[in-house]
Amino acid sequence: MSVLNVGDVDTIEHDLTFAPPAQRVAGLAQLGCDRKGGRTHLRRLYQDGSAKIRMPAVSADPLEAVLINTAGGLTGGDRLGWEIDVGAGTSVSITTQACEKVYRAASDRAEVRVKLTVGAGGRIAWLPQETIVFDRSAFARRLDLELAAGAEALVLEATVFGRLAMGEGAADGNFHDRWRVSQDGALVHAEDFRIGPGIAATLSRSAVAGGAIAMATVLMISPRGEALLDPVRDIIGGRGDASVWSVRKSGKLLARLFAEDGYQLRKRLVPLVELLNGRAGLPKLWSL
């Protein structure tokens, strides 16, 4: 490095280089379906950026769709969107190819936007695999579900803060999960879960999670909810609970589960999804 004198101004020559802005994930995928000939058929498929959708061959309803983030994970500044339109009288089951991973953010936050619409008499099962949150990550997810009269839904979101088996914790970070669910134009469920910046310290509190790092929220909008409450509670056991309400001439079952790691959480989620998802059962990509 040298200093040059140019008149009354000193300038510094140096060989420093600056990295270009990091490449960010940007993806949007849309899926729409209708009922034809007594079956659910694909009406629209749109894919952009890292958001992809694949549909395994099935012999009967529901239509199955697998969501894929080809970037392999999310970090600060990434944006991902999923939009599913389930037509009247149709049935769709949605899952993910793998667990979504949210990595450390140098700046900004990763954002995922989910928009689900279900027509009259239709049904959606939104069953992504767990979201794994790493230390010093920043993540916000927004889920909006609009149900017509007579439509049903099963919605699951599971989150694991760190990976115990790999010795990876999530001591700090920011996490925000926002849900808004309406039926026939009326709001029937809303929640905003926020944790951070001291994630591990907050989860360790007995009034919060008692040291659990894995948790799940399961919401079912269906008249069948009340009849399933007791078997749901049997599956959940002592680390979590479930309740039911009557909403818009239908029913709402809400369950929350906690576990010491992702494996112990999934051991209860598998039979719970099999119970609540009826004949569709467990997505093929789920396993223990």
Tell me what pLDDT residue 22 has: 63
For CA atoms 266, 262, 259, 78, give the dihedral sign: negative
Name the one residue in this structure whose structure tokens are 């998802």.
Answer: 277
Residue-range domain boundaries for the chain? 24-277
How far is residue 122's CA from residue 276's CA, in Å, rounded to a whole number?
Answer: 16
For residue 273, give both structure tokens: 């999804």
Residue, of 165 and 179, whose pLDDT is higher: 179
Q: Which of 86, 69, 68 is nearest to 155 (CA)?
A: 86
For CA atoms 76, 78, 83, 84, give the dihedral sign: negative
Neighbours of 173 (CB within 10 A): 24
The answer on pLDDT for 255 being more than 90 is: yes
What value does the mean pLDDT of the chain take?
91
CB 137, CB 104: distance < 8 Å: yes
How far is the CA of 269 from the CAs of 99, 160, 213, 259, in angstroms? 14, 13, 15, 11
- pLDDT tens digits, one per residue of 108-141: 999 999 999 999 999 999 999 999 999 999 999 9
Establish how many alpha carbons lie within 13 A of residue 190's alpha carbon, considering only the half-sphere containing its beta carbon.
3
Q: Which of 172, 154, 155 is nearest to 105 (CA)?
A: 172
Q: What is the dihedral of CA 144, 30, 70, 23, to 10 degrees?
A: -80
CB 90, CB 43: distance < 8 Å: no
CB 156, CB 216: distance < 8 Å: yes
Amino acid at 263: Y
Tell me what pLDDT residue 229 has: 98
The answer on pLDDT for 17 being more than 60 is: no
For 269, the 3-state DSSP assignment is helix
Residue, of 22 and 144, whose pLDDT is higher: 144
Residue, of 59 and 144, whose pLDDT is higher: 144
Q: Which of 62, 159, 102, 99 is nearest to 285 (CA)?
A: 99
The answer on pLDDT for 15 being more than 70 is: no
Tell me what pLDDT residue 81 has: 98
- pLDDT tens digits, one per residue of 92-110: 999 999 999 999 998 899 9
Tell me what pLDDT residue 20 has: 55
The answer on pLDDT for 18 being more than 50 is: no
Tell me what pLDDT residue 6 has: 41
Radius of gyration for the alpha carbons in the chain, expressed in angstroms and rounded: 22
- pLDDT tens digits, one per residue of 172-184: 999 999 999 999 9
Give the confidence band of 192 by pLDDT, cuts at 50, 70, 90: very high
